[in-house]
Amino acid sequence: MTYDEASRDFNERFDETRLEIEGTPDGARVRIAGWLGLEEAGRLQALMDTIMDSVEPGGTISLDLGEVRYISSTGVGLLSHALIKARGKGLRFVLSRVSDTAEKVLRLLGLLSFFPTEE
Amino acid sequence: MPNDQDHRVWMLKLIADLSAIYAKDISETANVAATDVIKLSFKADAAAIFYTSGEGRYLYCVAGTQFPIALSPGHWRESVVNHSEGGHIRRFGPWSLPGMDTVLPLWISCPLYTSNANVGFVFLGRSEFDWSDEEIAVLRSIVEVMAPIVQVRYERTLEERSRRETEQRLVRNERKLRAYFEGSRDMIYTANSRDEITGINAAGLSLLGIAQKEAAIGRPIADFVVDRSVRKVIVGKILRNGYASDCEVVFKKADGTPVFGLESVYAIKNSAGKIIEIQGIIKDISERIANESALWKMNLELAETNKALTDTQALMVQREKMASIGQLAAGVAHEINNPLGFLKSNHETLKVYMRKLREAFEEARSVVPDTIGKIEAGLDLGYYLSELDSIFSESDEGYARIMNIVGSLKSFSRADQAAGFEPYDVNAGLESTLVVARNEIKYVADVKLYLQPLPRIMAKSNEINQVFLNIIVNAAQAIGSQGRDEKGQILIATEEKADAVVITIRDDGPGIPKEYVDKVFDPFFTTKEPGKGTGLGLSISYDIIHTKHGGTLSVSSSRGGGALFTIELPKGAPPA
């Protein structure tokens, strides 16, 4: 399944969430917007695993949370899982943008400092 | 016997009396009074009305008593079922009313009404004078008047009964719901269409850290959440879908403490589809979230520790490698140095001896010039003697070069043994590193040095040499990877700035693609073929320059197309 097909499939399943995946020379850029609840996060985690498996060590996975309006604990779990998996594979995992809502939750949980960010 | 007119008057009077009774008394007791009037009017010895009440009970009213009497189903069967005949008048006897001793021989029963299974009858009994057709006709007439009244009362009783039951059910449900509402360990609330709280239970007050309901009623839910925008999103979802389930919302107690809640909420709408009430239930999941969060933190810290371990391992491997190179260099320097010492010494002695022989030869020539001239011409001694100078001169240069190499190897090996910060000559470090890397460079590139005089700086010489070696070997390998016909170039320059010394190492190799420039210092990043590079050399170099020496290490594309590494090392005290 290509990135475009995976995004389309995801967006058809969840009408309050928007996913875009874009390949980059050394990895992938993932943009998630809207509602990141239990089901959405579960599906996205599976996709992130697939994406990370396809990127060579040394590559970068960038996740854009700038337009996330709601994030559940499953969503936070997804971020932790992705970061740990990326480190294990020698990948760079960065949050390219973080919405106020997502930042508040990550800060409240004491996890924000673990995630490399780049504006 | 009375005539028709008399019958009519009698009947009308009886109807008027019965109507007055039922008008005056709307209770069932009116039936008792009615039996009294009927008994008297028909000159009967006994009169009774049998009926089923709206509450499903079997009752009968007897003239001369005060209240309706309840009958068992058995009595009802024995009295009514056995002595009535559907919608017809029935004569029977002898018989006595249930519970009465007096047995009368002449009875008639007349159906009062039939409403499905609910029936009523008027019974009249006499001891003598059988019932005439006229009396029966009058009975029929008054029963026709009474029937709707009794039936309406029956139905009203039925309705009242139903209403009472409904009310009781509602009260019971209300009590149950109230107990559930107040006794629930989860917060339950109601809100109006503006999302302002209209009701909240004790668990809700506890969750929000509020003592009195008054402090919550009328306030928007958004006042109690950490992120108002999240509430807005949830309300939007409710407006669109009519509900929102399993939403995790962070509430804040009155004292500011965050509380993680799992909320399910739905909207009650009127017939026009407009929201009239929002009802929600919120479970406090703070403990679960705290546990999950602790687990995530632990896993993330573990991942960081793993990474640090991997980096340390790589660093140790690199240091071990450097130590091996240093030991090798020291060994080679030592082994060469000894024979070189006596070779050089013999060479100097040989030069002295040759000078003496030349002097002796010149003296002999002055004593016997012809003989010596002949010998010199015959053996071409003039040529040999002139060549000796250039041979000694070349040998001197060779010895100097060997001694320089040995010196560099010694310098490199000494650097390897140094552990802490010490005065360090950057130019000497570069030169000794070039000697170690010479074999890697010599077939692919020429090295040009533009070294300006530099002050010594405080540095860990072994580590700085390691950085130089990494960058120079990378440059040579990059040039070599191009398979060029001609050698490439590595230009190394140093200069002094106000507070730092600057080292630039430039090559004319393939350079670094723009998209990789930001990543070359990342651990494990390599563009080399698998097995040719660990991707750790530059990462370690960055750590040495940046973290350990407080300097900077940067890379950019060289104007010639290759890569340009720039190192700045502070001249001042080493970092604490």
**pLDDT band at residue B318 using 50, 70 and 90 as cut-offs:** low
Count of structural domains within chain B: 4
If asked whether residues B129 and B274 sit together in one domain, one would say no
- The encoded tokens of residue B97 equal 């009313």
Residue A119 lies inside a defined structural domain of this protein = no
Residue B121 lies inside a defined structural domain of this protein = yes
Q: Do the Cβ atoms of B522 and A83 come within 8 Å?
A: no
Q: Determine the residue among B300, B305, B524 to mutate to test chain A binding: the one whose Cβ has the most chain A Cβ atoms within 10 Å.
A: B300
Residue A118 lies inside a defined structural domain of this protein = no
- The mean per-residue pLDDT over the stretch B110-125 comes to 77
Place of tokens 């309840």: B70
- The mean per-residue pLDDT over the stretch A30-49 comes to 94
Q: B454 is in which domain, residue-wise?
A: 419-576
If asked whether residues B139 and B31 sit together in one domain, one would say yes
The CATH number of the domain where B520 resides is what?
Answer: 3.30.565.10
Q: How many alpha carbons lie under 13 Å from residue B28 in its C-beta half-sphere?
A: 23
Count of structural domains within chain A: 1
Residue B176 lies inside a defined structural domain of this protein = no
> Is residue A88 less than 8 Å (CB to CB) from chain B?
yes
Residue B508 lies inside a defined structural domain of this protein = yes
* Sequence-separated (6 or more) residues with CB below 8 Å from residue A94: A60, A61, A62, A63, A115, A116, A117, A118
In one-letter notation, the amino acid at residue A59 is G
Of B248, B307, B513, the CB nearest to A87: B307
The strand ranges marked E within B116-270 are: 118-126, 187-191, 197-200, 243-252, 258-269
Residue A78 lies inside a defined structural domain of this protein = yes
- The encoded tokens of residue B313 equal 């391992």
pLDDT at A107 over 80: yes
Residue A79 lies inside a defined structural domain of this protein = yes
If asked whether residues B156 and B9 sit together in one domain, one would say yes
Residue A72 lies inside a defined structural domain of this protein = yes
If asked whether residues B267 and B359 sit together in one domain, one would say no
If asked whether residues B558 and B438 sit together in one domain, one would say yes
Question: Count of CB contacts below 8 A, A vs B?
Answer: 83
SS3 call for B405 = helix
> Is residue A15 less than 8 Å (CB to CB) from chain B?
no
d(Cα B15, Cα B11) in Å, to the nearest integer?
6
pLDDT tens for B6-56 read 888 888 899 899 889 988 988 878 889 999 999 999 999 999 998 887 677
Domain C-terminal end among B161, B195, B221: B161
If asked whether residues B250 and B203 sit together in one domain, one would say yes
Of B289, B303, B526, the CB nearest to A73: B289
* Sequence-separated (6 or more) residues with CB below 8 Å from residue B448: B489, B490, B491, B492
Interface of B with A (CB under 8 A): 226-227, 229-230, 233-234, 237, 246-248, 250, 258, 260, 285, 289, 292-293, 296-297, 299-300, 302-304, 306-307, 513, 515-516, 519, 522-526, 535
**pLDDT band at residue B463 using 50, 70 and 90 as cut-offs:** confident
Residue B272 lies inside a defined structural domain of this protein = yes
Give the residue with greater pLDDT, B241 vs B154: B241
If asked whether residues B387 and B505 sit together in one domain, one would say no
Give B260's contacts in chain A (Cβ within 8 Å).
73
pLDDT at B408 over 80: no
ipTM: 0.91
If asked whether residues B12 and B121 sit together in one domain, one would say yes
Residue B53 lies inside a defined structural domain of this protein = yes
Q: A74 is in which domain, residue-wise?
A: 3-113
If asked whether residues B22 and B104 sit together in one domain, one would say yes
A81, closest residue in chain B (CA to CA): B296
**Distance to chain A for B294, nearest Cα, Å:** 9
Cα B104 off chain centre by: 90
Residue B430 lies inside a defined structural domain of this protein = yes
The CATH number of the domain where B261 resides is what?
Answer: 3.30.450.20
If asked whether residues B403 and B441 sit together in one domain, one would say no
> Is residue A96 less than 8 Å (CB to CB) from chain B?
no
Q: Do the Cβ atoms of B229 and A26 come within 8 Å?
A: no
Res B226: pLDDT: 94
The CATH number of the domain where A12 resides is what?
Answer: 3.30.750.24
If asked whether residues B340 and B441 sit together in one domain, one would say no
Domain C-terminal end among B417, B446, B470: B417
Residue A71 lies inside a defined structural domain of this protein = yes
Of B258, B293, B522, the CB nearest to A111: B293
Residue B172 lies inside a defined structural domain of this protein = no
Q: Report chain B's mean pLDDT, rounded to a whole number.
A: 86
Q: Determine the residue among A71, A114, A115, A118 to mutate to test chain B binding: the one whose Cβ has the most chain B Cβ atoms within 10 Å.
A: A114
- The mean per-residue pLDDT over the stretch B65-78 comes to 88
Residue A39 lies inside a defined structural domain of this protein = yes
If asked whether residues B405 and B431 sit together in one domain, one would say no
